Structure 1
């Protein structure tokens, strides 16, 4: 029987062509090997499926605002659009920012640093804690590690303590750049790994998602990420308008005090010298009247500018539409036991077939030698 099997295996390739019947026979004769391989792969897959930590996924879909200015172009803009020319963008009429920038915003250091200091509800804590505090608590030494540190590793502990003391005594200059602690870097790396922003180029929709081991926490992470993202875009869009508003507001406050002082001085003087008619009184009255009129004119002009600046900030503030809000997930997103089992079966089958052909190659080499 063994000789027949070897003869069938040796006749798989005939005249540089593959004999499918001989190939199927070889695989069928080695089916026990495939069964063993599949069984081992499925066993390993079950171990992975039931020992891997559970993860939950939440997401939020939003529509960014695409405000357009310069609507007075009318039919000219429509005709140019048919020709593939965007006159609005050429004239600076597009007030929205490209959706492709959103993932870069979420992965930027300012965003991640602000994110790690936001407080969230963890199942391990009664009160809300930040990701930074969670990272610090996770890096605290256990009792066993402290015993090893001050017994077996005592020389290295003393060495590290002396080096740290020298570094601490060294007065390093402030270069005005970001100086992040190790815990902050760990928390920021976790944020970058967990929170994902995807942009659909066809529809323009922005999907913010996250996947962690706690269902309530993952919904909080997505919601807070969307809020910070909206705040960042709003600040970016209205930066110039807000700076102008702050300047006008400061000027308005100063001129308001001057106007109220000039008004009070003018009417007080007018009441005190109501029945007096002299050239000196008339001169002082005219001077105070001119100061009051000038202060009133400037004050009223700044009041109009202030209202216009407020309107401009409101107009330039982008509005976001939440198409799908973040919800607390009920079902686990990982591990997917069905997928793991299917992949294990496929992988085990390929490994078994590989072992069969590996044996065939070894037999051919032995016979050729």
Structure 2
């Protein structure tokens, strides 16, 4: 190769740098040429997002803040457990002096359990409201029921059941749907518990929170009543069998404390939790965030438009390069 030809031929990195600069300019130019496509895509995305946002029903959130009741914060059996815990254990009796945190944690676990939630739905007959309702009529405040799922006139389920399932919702279906509507959260530092419900109707959301608190107290109270009555019966039986004075004293004291627990449980409606901040009917919706949906739709539409313009430019350039190679 001649010296002049060698001097005139570009080095690989010079050509590569020039191509990069040209490619960047070409991309910017291609985006500018396709600006109307990008704008149209952004407008289309915004329109679809607004349409979806308007079709989504309003969801209202009601919640109550609860604190452990005084009976669960120690004293009574808790103090007695320190004195007679060993002897009581030998006698086969659990004094239940677990303190506030364990009792509160147990109640939170019960509130999230399948048994409690399905029992709650069945007890208050909420099957139609959570399985067939699609929204609320703002004028009348009544729920909108999907006629393909439930016949309001004949009051029966008409949905198409999958093979192996019944037309009426099963306990598993009720738990799966209802557990998504409620929230039960405990603050580990303060011990306070928040129970919330998200639903189409603000009145029903508030009512369900009240029912959840009342039913949770009732269930926990019944559990402890059953245990206490069983303990009292056992202690009386053991008292009749022993002739040791010291053991009789222990049994009498245990029966006395268990009887106190039984009496307090029967007269106290706020057995586990007392309400610090009761639920109120929400006046503003919690979701959907329609403005956010519209913004995201616009951004996604614009990004899709940019991608289409760049793909179109790449295909056109490849076609031109292939045509140049064929001619040469």
- The verdict on a shared fold, with TM-score over 0.5 as the criterion, is yes
Using the TM superposition, give the Cα deviation of residue 114 of structure 1 relative to its aligned residue in structure 2, in angstroms. Answer: 1.9
1:308 corresponds to which of 257, 260, 266: 257
- Of 157, 178, 183, which residue of structure 1 is paired with 2:169? 183
Post-superposition shift, 1:367?
Answer: 3.6
For residue 194 of structure 2, give the secondary structure of its aligned residue in structure 1. Answer: strand
Hey, what does 1:209 align to over in structure 2? 196
Match of 2:205 among 199, 206, 218: 218
Aligned mates of 1:205, 1:27 — CA distance in 2: 56
Change in CA separation of 1:312 and 1:102 when aligned onto 2, cut-off 3 Å: closer
Say if 1:230 and 1:356 are closer, same or farther in 2 by CA, change over 3 A: farther
Is structure 2 residue 312 aligned with structure 1 residue 359?
yes
1:51-70 mapped onto 2 (5 Å cutoff): 51-64=55-68, 67-68=73-74
What is the correspondence of 1:257-268 to structure 2 with a 5 Å cutoff? none
Q: Distance in 2 between matches of 1:198 and 1:93?
A: 21
2:128·2:150 contact (CA, 8 Å) conserved in 1?
no
Question: CA-atom RMSD, angstroms?
Answer: 4.4
The TM-score with structure 1 as length reference comes to: 0.53
Equivalent residue pairs, number:
247
Offset, 1:217:
0.8
How far apart, CA to CA, are the structure 1 residues paired with 2:229 and 2:16?
A: 79
Q: Gaps (5+ residues) in structure 1? A: 1-10, 73-91, 120-129, 144-163, 165-179, 253-300
Offset of 1:337 from its aligned partner? 1.8
Aligned to 2:246: none
Distance of 1:368 and 1:213 partners within structure 2:
59
Change (3 A) 1:367 1:215: same
Shift of the 194–13 alpha-carbon distance from structure 1 to 2, 3 Å rule, reads farther
Larger Rg: 1
Alignment of 1:49 with 2:44, yes or no, is no
Q: Secondary structure at the match of 1:97?
A: helix
Residue of structure 2 in register with 1:35 after alignment: 39
1:131 aligns with 2:126: yes
**What aligned pairs does 1:136-175 form with structure 2 within 5 A after superposition?**
139-140=149-150
Structure 2: 5+ residue stretches without partners: 1-14, 81-96, 133-144, 154-163, 240-249, 323-328
Match of 1:324 among 277, 281, 292: 277
Q: Supply the distance in 2 between the matched residues of 1:307 and 1:97 (Cα, whole angstroms).
A: 24
- Return the alpha-carbon distance in structure 1 between the equivalents of residues 212 and 32 of structure 2: 55
Shift of 1:41: 0.9
In structure 2, the CA distance between the partners of 1:353 and 1:140, relative to structure 1 (3 Å rule), is closer
SS in 1 for 2:48: helix
TM superposition score normalised by structure 2: 0.58
Is 1:105 paired with 2:110? Answer: yes
Deviations 1:252-272 (A, max 9, x none): 9xxxxxxxxxxxxxxxxxxxx
Give the alignment of 1:330-341 within 5 angstroms. 330-341=283-294
